[in-house]
Every structure is written in structure tokens, then in C-alpha cells.
Amino acid sequence: MRYVINIILLVLIVLLSYMLYSSIKEPIAFGEAKQYRKDKVVNKLETIRKAQEIYRSIKGEFASSFQQLKDTLTMDSIPFEKIIGDPDDPTNADKFQRFVTYTPAIDTIRALGINLDSLPIIPFSGGMTFDIEADTIEYQKTTVSVVEVGTKWKNFMGKYADPRYGKYDSRYDPNKTIKFGDMLKPNISGNWER
């Protein structure tokens, strides 16, 4: 009889240990997957932001589509201005010189390691692309160029795109957007930087 009780207790201990392990494993796996996937998406968004800044240095505004961004960065050149002398010195106003040179944008893109073909693709999404929008707006009585690029968390979280995983992280909402830029004001910082 004592032998049977020991076996039942042993089975019960193993079962409870497994249940405890399972209850701890899921939130840890979610946290690790969330951080890993977020880091990859943020890296891609930062690369897109660099490409948009280069585009703006060429065109004076942001690209409203990835095709427009790719075409310009492949075919156009970036202007670089060099000033000799001090243009702010009133005694030297006629003695400074300004030179503008142009470098193919594709050289800079290659040097940065940016792949323009895969730029719009969201990591872990199975080929989905980031949402991109650009325009000019009136902001504090000035016309400014604005851009917004992003995607919803559910597009790259895979099996963790279910809202039930919010119980492990109160800030997690798969329907929220991770993005940089703002269509209402001239701001190109990312909402992951807060």
C-alpha cells in the first residue's frame, strides 16, 4: 500500500512540476519572441528612415511610395555643399565661396548596406510591406514635408499576434502600430523611442 501511495505522489509531483514549467515557459517565450521581432522591425524602420532622409536631401520632400524611393535613390545624385570662408562674417561677405558637388545616391545606399528591393518588406510577415505615406502640410505658418512609415504589431508577431498575450505585457496590443514619423507634424522619430 505504501508503495502505491509513493508512486501516486511521484506522478503527482511530476504532473505539478510540468504544469508549473508550462505556465512559466509561455510568458518567457512570448517576451523573448516579442523583443527579437521588435528589434528586427525597428532596425528595418531605421533603415527606411535613413533612405527617406537621403531622398529628402535630393528632392526636398519625402517619398510617398517605396517605388518612388527606390527609383530616386537608384538614379539621382545627392548634392553636397562646401563653403570656403565664413558667410556669417559681415566683413567677409564677398570673400566666401560656395561649391556644390553631386554624388550618385546609389553609392551612399550601397555603402550603408541598404537593399532597396527588400526595403519595404516587414520581417516575419511572409512578404507583407510597410505602410508608407508622405505629404506636405502647413505647420506653424510654414509648409513642411511629413512622412509616416509603419505596420501593426500583428503583422510580424506570428503566433503571438493574439490579444490574449497582453496578459504578459500590459502595453502589448497587436493592433497598435509601430512606426516612425507623423502626418500631423514634422517629426521623424519612432514611437519605439519613447
Give a yes or no: residue 160 inside a domain: yes
Give a yes or no: residue 40 inside a domain: yes
Predicted TM-score (pTM) above 0.85? no
Domain residues for 60?
Answer: 32-76+109-193
Give a yes or no: residue 21 inside a domain: no
pLDDT score, position 100: 86
pLDDT score, position 150: 97
- pLDDT values of the chain reduced to their tens digit, one per residue, 194 residues: 788 888 888 888 888 877 777 778 888 999 999 999 999 999 999 999 999 999 999 999 999 999 999 999 999 999 888 877 776 776 766 677 778 888 999 999 999 999 999 999 999 999 999 999 999 999 999 999 999 999 999 999 999 999 999 888 888 999 999 999 999 999 999 999 65
Number of domains in the chain: 1
End-to-end CA distance of the chain: 63
Give a yes or no: residue 18 inside a domain: no
Give the SS3 label for residue 177: strand
In whole angstroms, give the CA distance from residue 21 to residue 15.
10
Give a yes or no: residue 10 inside a domain: no
Per-residue pLDDT tens for 120-158? 999 999 999 999 999 999 999 999 999 999 999 999 999
In whole angstroms, give the CA distance from residue 180 to residue 188.
6
Q: Which of 35, 115, 104 is nearest to 75 (CA)?
A: 104
Give a yes or no: residue 89 inside a domain: no
In whole angstroms, give the CA distance from residue 111 to residue 144.
29
Give a yes or no: residue 27 inside a domain: no
Take residue 75 and report the three cell numbers written for it.
538614379
pLDDT score, position 86: 72
pLDDT score, position 144: 95
Give a yes or no: residue 134 inside a domain: yes
